[in-house]
Structure formats: C-alpha cells, structure tokens
Structure 1
Amino acid sequence: MPCDQDKLAIDDSRWQVAVAREAVIRPLINAGQLSPIDVATACRILGLRRSRLYALIEQYRSAPVTSSLAAARPGPKKGARRLAVEVEAAIEEAIRDKYLTRQKASVSTLHDHIRHLCRERGLDIPSWKAVRARVEQIDRFKLVRQREGNKAARDRLRPVPEEYRADHALQIVQIDHTRVDLFVVDTIYRLPIQRPWLTLAIDVASRIVVGFYLSLEAPSSASVALAIHHAVMPKAEWLLARGIELDWPVSGLPDIIHVDNAREFRARALARGAAEYGISLLHRPVATPHYGGHIERLIGTMMGAVHMLPGTTFSSISERGDYDPERHAVMTIEELERWLTLEIVGRYHNEVHSSLQMPPNAAWREALDRRRAPFRHPHDDQQFFYDFLPFEERSIRRDGVHIFGLRYWDDVLSPWAGRLDRQLRVKYDPRDLSCVFVEGPDGAHWPIRYADLRRPRITLGEHRLAQAALRQRGVRLTDEQLIFDTVEAQRELLETSASITKSARRQVARRARSLNAADQGAAAEVVAPGTKDEPETLPVLAVEEWS
C-alpha cells in the first residue's frame, strides 16, 4: 500500500531525520530477531525511546519506504498560502541582485530592499519570515559560490572520496549516457536515420551490467527513470519478449547510484525517488571524469564492439577514413537493442575482465557472497515505476486534468474535480501522452486517458514539434483540436516524404519506437487499483449530434 506521507511535500529537516532513521531501522529488520543490545544501540543513535522505535519499526514493515518514517508536520500544510506572483518575482529579483553577491547582505538588509521594491510597485510587502524561507531554499553550493567564489564552494562542499570502490554486489551502481557510434535505419525503407542514445548502468563491485535503455531521443529524466527501472527489475520476461534464451540474474535496489552532473540527473523526482527506496544518489564532482571511470570504460568496451558493425562511425573522423557509415547502415534500433543484449549477456558477462581477472558473471557471484544484507526489491513494482517518472502539478478542474494543452478525464477524478484546494501531481511517460497518471491525495496512482478517446496516441516529441510549428505561424493560444490537427498534418507530411529525406524518416522512427516501447514497458501494463485491464484500443463509436 502507498505510504500516507507525501515524500515530495516533506520539508528537508524532517526528510533528513527520516533518511537517518531508515538507515538504522532497515538493518534491524534484515537481521531478523531484534536483540536488546541492537535495540538499545538504535535508540541511542536516533535519540528515541524504546516504544517509539518499535512503533517506527512497525511503520516501516507495513510500508518499507523512507517516507513512512517521517514525522507528521504539525499545523497547516507548508505552502498552503502563496504570495502573489508579482511579489515572488520581486523577491527573486532582490535575492539575485542583493543577496547572491560578494557584499554578503543579511536577510534583514534583503528584506528592507524588498520592502522598497514592493512600495514602488504597489505590492503587498512580504514578512521577514517569508523572505528568510525563500533564502533557505537556495542551493547551498550556488549560495556559497555567488557570495564567496568558486574555490570556497569547492573547498567547503565538494565531496573528496579517497578511492571509489565497492565491496559487495549492488553497493554502487554507476549510470551514464553515450551516443552510439552507429547509424540505425528505419523499419520501412531500411534507410539511415540517426545515431541512437544508450543509457548504461554498471555494478562497480563486479563490473556486471545491471541494465540499459536505448532510445532515439536525447537523454532526459525519463530515459534515466527507464534505465533504473530496467536495472532494478528481474529481466526474464524482458529477455523472453526479445527471443533471447540467456540468463541475466541481476535485479534489486542498489545502495548507491553514482551519476554525473547532467541536467537529467538533477531532477527532483529522481532525487526523492532514490531516497524513497533507501538509495543514496551521488553526483561526481565537476570536471573529474575519473570519478566515473567504471562506467566510462564500459561505454568504451561497448562502443569498441559496435565498431565491428556495418554503419559504425568509429570513435573519430581520422579512424573512420573514407568509410561512409550511412551508406553501410543496415540495423534498425530494435535489432541493435537485441544485438546489444546478446553482446552484454552472452559475451561481455562471460569474458575475463582485465581489471578483475575473471568474467563479470563470476565476479558477480563472489560479490554476492560478500554482501551481508539481503537484496532489496521494490515492495510494489508499479509504484516504483511511478516514483521515478517526470511530473507536473495541476489542479483537478471540473472538466478534468489539463496538461500540455490536452484534456484528460476519468470518473475517478469526480470526488476531486473542483473540490481540492491544492494541486495534484500528474506523472507522464514521454513515449505516450495518451495516458497520464494522477497521484491522489492518498498516494495511489490512477491512469487517466484523453477526455476524447478518439484522439490518437502521440509522443511528447511530436507534441513539442506541433507547438513549435504553431508558434512559427504566429498562433499563441492553441486549443486541443489545433494541436492534434497539427500533429496529424505533420504525420501525413512525414509519411509521404519519408522515402526522400532522412529527417522525416527519423521522426517517423522516433514515433514508432516510442509508442511501441510504451506498449511493452511498465507504463502500458499498469491499471488503476481495483480495476481490470482495459483493452489496448477502443472502438470509435458513431455520435449523433443534436442542435
């Protein structure tokens, strides 16, 4: 069952307490029988009475996620009353111009400047407490860098591990992206379209690949979420769907996920989703690529294998010579995905690794033996998928949910429509916008489809292209019908020109790849709690209109 606590609404101080509690309570539960010594030690570390510790243990057993250990916040919910947009803009301007400077102004001085701005603009003056709350939300690294310089920020806040190594399986998993050194072709004309993107995840202790995600879209928070989902979940069904009869025994929640500082790795959903499951999310220091050496070497190994395929771009222009990769390209992205799986599971995992002096499969078994705590798996597979999806916060209107200029409706929204005094989180899979997932006040997720079920399935990429086309035509206020009409017109144009231009074939392939992947992925399999699976397509019914 979902936890009653909303992890994204928990303030930072209570969240840190919950994280500390989870780090102590989880090993107690894994140990089985609770000894008096262990209980006394945990009480001393957490500063709790014995009865309170037992209550928290029961809470964690019923909902084994970090947010179940967060203390309830007394009083009204934080952020229930918001300042006017103009006042918020004045505060942001003052913070940028007066507070984030080398003069190191105090909060009181900042508040005086905000009062002056608000009087000039005829705005309500915010309280000193409201200004201080917004100052406290400033990123600590950004604050120190702006007020004291880059060196001070690095010296005071940058982590400095002596050596990056792992002792047991799934202690540390590194994730990174790369553009594959290979052109793929479309499925219809078998003509080259582009180089796909590959997101890889590796277990540092054994160098075994724990998961990957291949896409025609540039890296995003969604591709990170899908790679993590693939890494954590068992892979037997995934392999069977691709006709691969090999064993890929890796699944489970890692203790640490190590990533670089790309924007997609800084998403709030990723940070809180990781902490929700007791996963520490670590970012490598800027301009220190050696901190990600394990995943970088894996990427190099995979691209070295790709260089043997027709259509490869090799790693440099000089290495390529007069070889024309587009003319020699023969593999679709689906075929490349299957080839990569065979290369990883059938070859890489069974060849001797130069650093370990044994195959990753053997190193994985040894790393398993060194792991004292049992493997952890998500208590709810669907909930785990939801927790890493990108989201927007929206009000539930009387006519449904509006997001991306599209309207969604389901009868499950009726109790909330026009009645809630707060917004709900609307999560989405960029590969298919025909269905979004509304997180209810109780934490349960509900799939909500287009209000007009006759609407075609589209990807987020197609939606953005349609909006860009409308803006070029000078159309500022667009309705839902105009967006879908534009997408349909673009699809017809792409289909007719696909045999002529590479960019058109690329768009067609991206759409087909995204929608097919969404059908096969976890997002397409989820259903609302207590409901039955819906059919994949709904018949279009004739409608008689009355004037």
Structure 2
Amino acid sequence: MKNHDKPSIFSDEFECENQIEESELASNAECAVSRDLASYPDATQKEVMRRYYFIEWMRKELAGGWTQKNLDPLLNRAARELQLKAPKWRALANWWKIYSQSGFKLTSLIPRQTAGNRHLKVKNEMVFFDKALERYLVPERPSIAAVYQYYSDLIRIENQNIVENKIEALSYKGFYNRIKKLSAYDVKVARHGKYLADMEFNSIDAHYPASRVLEKVEIDHTPLDLILLDDEHNFPIGRPYLTLLIDQFSRCIIGFYLGFKEPSYFSVMKALLNAIKPKNYISEQFPSIEKEWCCEGKMESLVVDNGAEFWSKSLEQSCLELGIHIQYNPVRKPWLKPLVERIFRTINSKLTISIPGKTFSNILQREDYDSKKDAVMRFSIFNEILHKWIIDVYHHEPDSRKRSIPYLKWQEGINYLPPISYSPEDEKQLAIILGIKAKRQHRRGGIHIHSLRYDSEILADCRRMYPSVTSVLTKTNPDDISYIYVFIEHEQKYIKVPCVDPIGYTKGLSLFQHQINLKLQREYIDKKTDLDSLAKVRMYINDRILKEINDLKSRQKKATKGISRLAKHASIGSDKKESISTSPLLNVSKDADQTKPVQPKGDDWDDLISDLDPY
C-alpha cells in the first residue's frame, strides 16, 4: 500500500467510528454478544421507546401508505394521546422503513450519533495534527495542552508563507476531543508501555484459591517504611526487610523474618523455619502477647515470584527434601499472588504509619521530615510490636468485607484436614536441610569456608580412611557458624565439625555478623594502607633489580667456584658485612675486576673451603 493510500488513524472518525474489522468479527463471533438497548444511556432508551410508540400507534390508525398526505392529519392526535413530542412526518416514515427492514428489531430505532461536525473543518490541517500526534504518543507523556501549542505553532508558521486561504487550526476543544477519540489502548501503549496497557485493558487471569490449610503459601519480601534504632547504642541502623509467609486458605500469617540483610536465601530459610516449627518461644520472649500463634506444619506449595533468592539451588533442594513444591509465578502477574502483596500494604499503612521514623516512598511526601533524626523505635521493641499485631490483632480481625476471620478460618481448616507436623527428630534435621549448601575441598588442615577453618579428630580419621575423597558437601547454619555439617559419602551421614581458627571467635556468631566483621576488617586495613608509598617502593625495587641485571651483564665474568662457601666463611649478613672482599683468603687488588682467590700451597681450594665450613 502506498503512503497516500494508507488510512489515517482518523480515517473513520466522521464516518463509522464503531465499525469492526471483518476478520476480528469472524474470530470473535462465538464469544461476542451484541449489545442490547439497556447498555445505552437513559436518554437514548427513552428516544427509542418514543419512536416505537409512534410507530405502533400509526400502524393501528393509518389507512394507506406512510406518506405526508396520510401522516400529517394524525400526528397531532397521536402526540396528545401518547403525551409525547410529535416527529416530522418524514422522520416517522423513515423510522418505519428502518424498523420494518430490520425485522422489527427494537435496536434499529437507536438514533445515529450525528452530534458535531461530520466533515473536516479545514482541508490541509490533518498534516499538522499528525505531526502533533507523533509528539503526544511518546513515553515522556506531554500534556494535551503542550501538544496543542505545538500544533498551533506549526500552523501559524506555515500560514506566514500563505497569502490566501490560510490554514485554520482546530480550537483547543476540537483538538482535545479528537485526541480523546484515539484508541485508548494504543495511546496507553505509546505513552505508558505495553505491560501497563495490558494490565488496564486486558482480562485478568482467574486466581484459584486454596481449598485447605497450607495447600498454598505465599512468600515475599518488602522493606518497611520505618527506620529503627540499635538496642544498645541507640543510633539509626536503617530500614528493616520483612520476609513473610501467608496461608491462602485462612489468610493467616504463618511465619516471618525481620532483618536488615537484603532478600536472600538466608532470609527465606529463616522465615521458613519460623513458619514450619511450633511457636513455643512466644510466651517466654513476649509475655505481653495474649493469644496463641497456632500456625505450624509443612506446606504443600510455596508460591514465589521470580526473585533471584527464590531460584537458588539451596532453596530448591531444601524444599524438595522437605516435600514442598515451589510454584513460580509468571513474570509481572502479581494478581496470582495477591495476599502477601496486600498484607505488606496493610502493615505499612496500619502498623508503621504512626511510628516516628517513618520513611516515604515518594520523596515529595517527605517535605521537611527527617526519618533518621525522628526515629525513636528500637529494633527489639518493634519486633515485639510486630508479633503482637500479627497474633492479637490481625489474626482476630475480620477482613474489610467481613467475610472471615483468619484465626477462625485456620481452626476450621485444621479441624477438617490437619496439616503434617514435624516430630522433634524431624525438627533437628531442619537446620541441616535448610542449611546453606556448598562444595569444599577436604585436605590436610580440614575444610576452609567463610574465611574460616573447620577440623576435628573425626574429620581427620575420615581423611585417613578415605584419602581419595577430596571434595565434600557442607551445610552451614547461618545463625551459628561455630560449626558446620559435613556429609561423609562412604558412611552416608553428616558429622558436626567445629571451627578451629580462630578459637572462640565464632561462638554464637551468625554468618551475616561474620561477613560484616570481614568487611570492616578489610575497610580498616585499606584505610591504614599507604597505597602511594607502596607503589613507589615496588617501583624502586623493580628498577633496582633491572639496574643490577644490566650491571652484571656489562661486567667481565669472574671465577665463582667455591665463592658461595667463602661467603659463609666471611659471615656475610644484613647486620654485618655485605662482601667477601675482606676475607683473608682473597688477594684483593685496587682494581676490583682483578680480584682472584689465593691458591694455598699444597692444598686444593675446595678441600680448604670444606675444612673451613664447620656446618
């Protein structure tokens, strides 16, 4: 198709705005349903019924054809009896023609949309509108007013070169109305991107809810809109990350982990442990909590998004070992994981909203508020408040539509089909199963991992018994790196191996704390290191070596047999002499190049040197 034959985006603007392509109509014929009269505005419905009443009245009273001679005498009487405004005879005759030809379908009487000018006001104005449209349909999303100004300026400049029949620009209202007649989807794609356009206009996939407790459990992370203080030093330590698991059936929060490390397998593992195990620590650690946190047991499916921490091999293996299926959501479809997204908004809007130290997602909302300066909440206090809100408030509060209460829904679910609980022996295995997996070399000195060394007598016995095994599987408990678990392939079991270097450092130390310590140590060393001075020294050493090599190449080669032993006899060292020239066994002349060893009478040189060397 040539460019001048290509239909404009407005080619049907004044002719048939509601036409549908025949191909689209054919493909959608089975699922599309024609609109009925009720789908039109009330005014349109009233007008259709007015036309219908006049047509039916005339059908009963009219004798002859639908002509002016027959219709005019009856119109006033019909208007009085129907109490409706009478139409012109030609309009009534046209209504009857359309109505009868349609097979007496009521929708054929719907008025045509004839409002507005159905013809272009000016002949050449569309060229400039198309240029303005190109500027409007861009990701920068300029306003209609700004684009109209550009459109007006284009025509104004063009008119400077025209003497007669100048181009007349649309009014702002006409320009605005033309913009609004564009395809809303196409405009959204051009100005906001296809993803947001699909989100707004496409149908949303159905979300199939769980039918029992722990059938589907959603997990995700979020940074809380709050800055907390260190418990001991009372200085701001930043925004905490919350990793949370919520049961789809009951909407109960079954576990969480609150910390300052970015989302990782570590935070996922901690939250999983909290969700699976009984919450026996609550009454002892938080005596102010009145209710019971009864959520525990093995989940069937863990619904996750596509975060890197959820694609780790450690998580995949651990979940398989625990019998948990990982369900990965398609990219950018949050409606398939609705509950955890909603609970994060609830926590930030209901719990943290009134706590000093709140942060704002939008920088314009912060104004003069200083989150760090106004922070007053210590980490331990917020941890208690979060537990209490979940257990005593959220679990016993009806949802916004008053359909259910999470705690009662959980009780209903476990009474119908109790989830699988872990025995005490199984709980001991969780630390191993959910530990951080790694492959390490097993050699003399033990196993080196996390910049630490782990070894024991049992591990040394394994090295002696199985010398061919040079690589082993290790599992690290991120909460305590004073030991690791090492899998012995030949015995099909894990052994616990303590950290031996440095002794006492790792007692009660978490992996995250250790990594921070290593980072601080490196930063300290970097600050104390004079890199400029080291660079100068290294350059001096390199230059000095090169100079010495060049000097040696330029000197005459000397007899060196036995000289190394003579250097021992002369006691050359850093604290004394630097040359053998003072040795009595040498005859040194003024010319250093003529220095020659004195040959003792009747003795061999090497034998003499050997006798002189008592070592």
Structure 2 length normalisation: TM-score?
A: 0.48
Residue 207 of structure 1 aligns with which residue? Answer: 251
Which of 456, 477, 485 aligns to 1:437? It is 485
Q: Cα distance 1:427–1:469, how it changes in 2: closer, same or farther (>3 A)?
A: farther
Give the C-alpha shift of residue 209 in structure 1. Answer: 0.4
Letter of the structure 1 residue corresponding to residue 221 of structure 2: H
Q: Cα distance 1:422–1:246, how it changes in 2: closer, same or farther (>3 A)?
A: farther
Residue 475 of structure 2 aligns with which residue? Answer: 427
| CA-to-aligned-CA distance 1:129-148 (integer Å, 9 cap, x gap) | xxxxxxxxxxxxxxxxxxxx
- Measured in 2, the distance between the counterparts of 1:192 and 1:449 equals 33
Residue 383 of structure 1 aligns with which residue? Answer: 429
Partners of 1:396 and 1:416 within 8 A in 2 = no
Q: Does 1:198 align with 2:248?
A: no
Give the 5 Å matches for 1:395-414: 395-414=441-460
Q: Cα distance 1:228–1:436, how it changes in 2: closer, same or farther (>3 A)?
A: same
Q: Cα distance 1:390–1:469, how it changes in 2: closer, same or farther (>3 A)?
A: farther
Which of 496, 501, 519 aligns to 1:446? It is 496
Which of 381, 393, 400 aligns to 1:335? It is 381
Give the C-alpha shift of residue 382 in structure 1. Answer: 1.9
Q: Does 1:392 align with 2:438?
A: yes
- Measured in 1, the distance between the counterparts of 2:525 and 2:330 equals 41
Residue 265 of structure 2 aligns with which residue? Answer: 221
Letter of the structure 2 residue corresponding to residue 343 of structure 1: W
Give the C-alpha shift of residue 315 in structure 1. Answer: 4.3
Letter of the structure 2 residue corresponding to residue 436 of structure 1: I
Residue 248 of structure 1 aligns with which residue? Answer: 293
Partners of 1:201 and 1:212 within 8 A in 2 = yes
Q: Does 1:271 align with 2:316?
A: yes
Q: Does 1:461 align with 2:507?
A: no
Q: Does 1:369 align with 2:419?
A: no
Give the C-alpha shift of residue 296 in structure 1. Answer: 0.3
Which structure has the higher relative contact order (CA within 8 Å, separation 6+)?
1
Partner SS state of residue 274, structure 1: helix
Partners of 1:232 and 1:253 within 8 A in 2 = yes
Give the C-alpha shift of residue 289 in structure 1. Answer: 1.8
Partners of 1:386 and 1:427 within 8 A in 2 = yes
Give the C-alpha shift of residue 317 in structure 1. Answer: 3.2
Q: Does 1:308 align with 2:308?
A: no
Gaps of 5+ in 1: 1-159, 476-547
> Which has more radius of gyration?
2
Letter of the structure 2 residue corresponding to residue 450 of structure 1: V
Equivalent pairs: percent with the same residue?
30
Q: Does 1:258 align with 2:306?
A: no
| CA-to-aligned-CA distance 1:184-223 (integer Å, 9 cap, x gap) | 0122332222111111110010110000101111111011
| CA-to-aligned-CA distance 1:219-268 (integer Å, 9 cap, x gap) | 11011001000000000224422334430001000000111111111111
Partners of 1:178 and 1:198 within 8 A in 2 = yes
Q: Cα distance 1:338–1:271, how it changes in 2: closer, same or farther (>3 A)?
A: same
- Measured in 2, the distance between the counterparts of 1:470 and 1:285 equals 46
Letter of the structure 2 residue corresponding to residue 268 of structure 1: K
- Measured in 2, the distance between the counterparts of 1:370 and 1:426 equals 41
Gaps of 5+ in 2: 1-203, 532-615
Give the C-alpha shift of residue 432 in structure 1. Answer: 4.3
Partners of 1:236 and 1:247 within 8 A in 2 = no
Residue 167 of structure 1 aligns with which residue? Answer: 211
- Measured in 1, the distance between the counterparts of 2:205 and 2:318 equals 24
Letter of the structure 2 residue corresponding to residue 453 of structure 1: I
Q: Cα distance 1:328–1:257, how it changes in 2: closer, same or farther (>3 A)?
A: same
Structure 1 length normalisation: TM-score?
A: 0.54
Partners of 1:169 and 1:370 within 8 A in 2 = no
Partners of 1:256 and 1:279 within 8 A in 2 = yes
Partners of 1:431 and 1:459 within 8 A in 2 = no
Partners of 1:199 and 1:212 within 8 A in 2 = yes
Residue 230 of structure 1 aligns with which residue? Answer: 274
Q: Cα distance 1:454–1:240, how it changes in 2: closer, same or farther (>3 A)?
A: closer
- Measured in 1, the distance between the counterparts of 2:521 and 2:205 equals 47
Give the C-alpha shift of residue 312 in structure 1. Answer: 1.1
Give the C-alpha shift of residue 367 in structure 1. Answer: 2.2
Partner SS state of residue 493, structure 2: coil
Partner SS state of residue 243, structure 2: strand
Partners of 1:200 and 1:211 within 8 A in 2 = yes
Residue 85 of structure 1 aligns with which residue? Answer: none
Partners of 1:221 and 1:264 within 8 A in 2 = yes
- Measured in 1, the distance between the counterparts of 2:299 and 2:243 equals 17
Give the C-alpha shift of residue 328 in structure 1. Answer: 1.7
